[in-house]
Copies of this chain bind each other. A is one copy, B any other.
Amino acid sequence: MAPSSSPTLRTTSEADEEKYANVKWEELGFALTPTDYMYVAKCRQGESFSQGKILPYGDISISPCSPILNYGQGLFEGLKAYRTEDDRVMIFRPDQNALRMQAGAERLCMTSPSLELFVDAVKQTVLANKKWVPPPGKGTLYIRPLLIGSGDTLGVAPAPENTFLIYASPVGDYHKVSSGLDLKVDHKHHRAHSGGTGGVKSCTNYSPVVKSLFEAKSSGFSDILFLDAATSRNIEELSACNIFIVKGNIVSTPPTSGTILPGVTRKSISELARDIGYQVQERDVSVDELLEAEEVFCTGTAVVVTAVETVTFHDKKVKYRTGEAALSRKLRSMLTNIQMGIVEDKKGWMVEIDRCQGW
């Protein structure tokens, strides 16, 4: 497959002239800056995904009677492409996103792309949008794979067709904060329940939290922290990222027992913390413990590793260690140094974008 408009077919001199898209890199936040291309593949129920197409980025056409529009049958992923100082473009652990999409598809009775097809599709998308990968230090190219139930189903049922789509956008920081986030603990709403979909990256986990998030932001908070639905005693996660607490040499984070998203950054940061001698515990973490922690931080593809400066629970507001002395600062550096190619990737996490299969 070689789309006629593929940027890989340009001559080298043309490519050099157009190394970067016309973007004010310094002004990037976490909002959509549309890029040139997206990837689209479709698959009928009972069949397997085969190679999709790189198409010009733009609106898609979908049935009003599709399961994604009527019943929320959809999954998404988020990962990033990084431009290194020596001008290589790298992506971070795409295999983990592929596996998580497979787990989600199993939960929602959808058909997911194979690991190989997923990773190849991500590579193709990044390669096609290479000039949108920000210069080193100016941001990253956020990559959003979607798996959505398409076709027609009037009743609640598995989708007759699944569409795998990837788009991308250059992004800067998710939160515009100086020292750390100001979190509010939500004691009215929950994000997930046992036997629900909190453990997969289902679209259905996100619109239900918008109200809490919006209200918290209107009151000056950065984000909301949810408690478990069963007891309302243990912390779970923020609107869209995982949480860690630090006390002494112990770093603790809620376990992935079905109501917590198994974050790729969460997993990677746990490994890096162990590498530098911290004991990492995946276990129930009570609000009481949170309030007594020395440090709190959150992790996610969008937020990377971000320190929490304060947590407010009812009328109580607790302040945590942030800044140079914080473990989160160190872990963030360790992670981004790997991602940006500043230190050697001894873990095999980074995948370099090169000419892809099928191009």
Q: Which residues of A contact B (CB under 8 A)?
A: 30-32, 34, 38, 57, 59-65, 67-74, 76, 107-109, 142, 144, 146, 148-149, 152-158, 165, 167, 169, 171, 174, 186, 188-190, 192-197, 202-211, 213-214, 229-230, 239-240, 302
Q: How far is the CB of A348 from chain B (nearest CB, A)?
A: 29
Whether the Cβ atoms of A209 and B165 lie closer than 8 Å is no
Q: How far is the CB of A156 from chain B (nearest CB, A)?
A: 5
28 pairs, CB–CB < 8 Å, chain A vs chain B:
A32-B153, A34-B65, A34-B152, A59-B63, A69-B146, A69-B203, A70-B74, A70-B144, A70-B146, A70-B203, A72-B72, A72-B204, A72-B205, A73-B207, A74-B207, A108-B210, A108-B211, A142-B154, A155-B302, A189-B196, A193-B193, A196-B208, A196-B229, A197-B208, A204-B205, A204-B208, A229-B230, A230-B230
Please name all residues of chain B whose beta carbon is closer than 8 Å to the beta carbon of A158 when the two chains form the complex.
210, 214
Please name all residues of chain B whose beta carbon is closer than 8 Å to the beta carbon of A155 when the two chains form the complex.
30-31, 174, 240, 302
Whether the Cβ atoms of A71 and B156 lie closer than 8 Å is no
What is the CA–CA distance of A153 and B63 in the complex, to the nearest angstrom? 21
Considering the complex, give the chain B residue whose CB is closest to the CB of A213: B156
Whether the Cβ atoms of A109 and B144 lie closer than 8 Å is no
Please name all residues of chain B whose beta carbon is closer than 8 Å to the beta carbon of A154 when the two chains form the complex.
30-32, 142, 144, 169, 171
Please name all residues of chain B whose beta carbon is closer than 8 Å to the beta carbon of A195 when the two chains form the complex.
186, 188-190, 229
Whether the Cβ atoms of B202 and A72 lie closer than 8 Å is yes
Having A60-B61, A60-B62, one finds 17 other A-B pairs with CB under 8 Å, namely: A32-B65, A59-B62, A61-B61, A64-B144, A65-B144, A71-B76, A71-B206, A72-B72, A72-B74, A109-B214, A142-B154, A156-B239, A156-B240, A190-B194, A190-B195, A193-B196, A230-B230
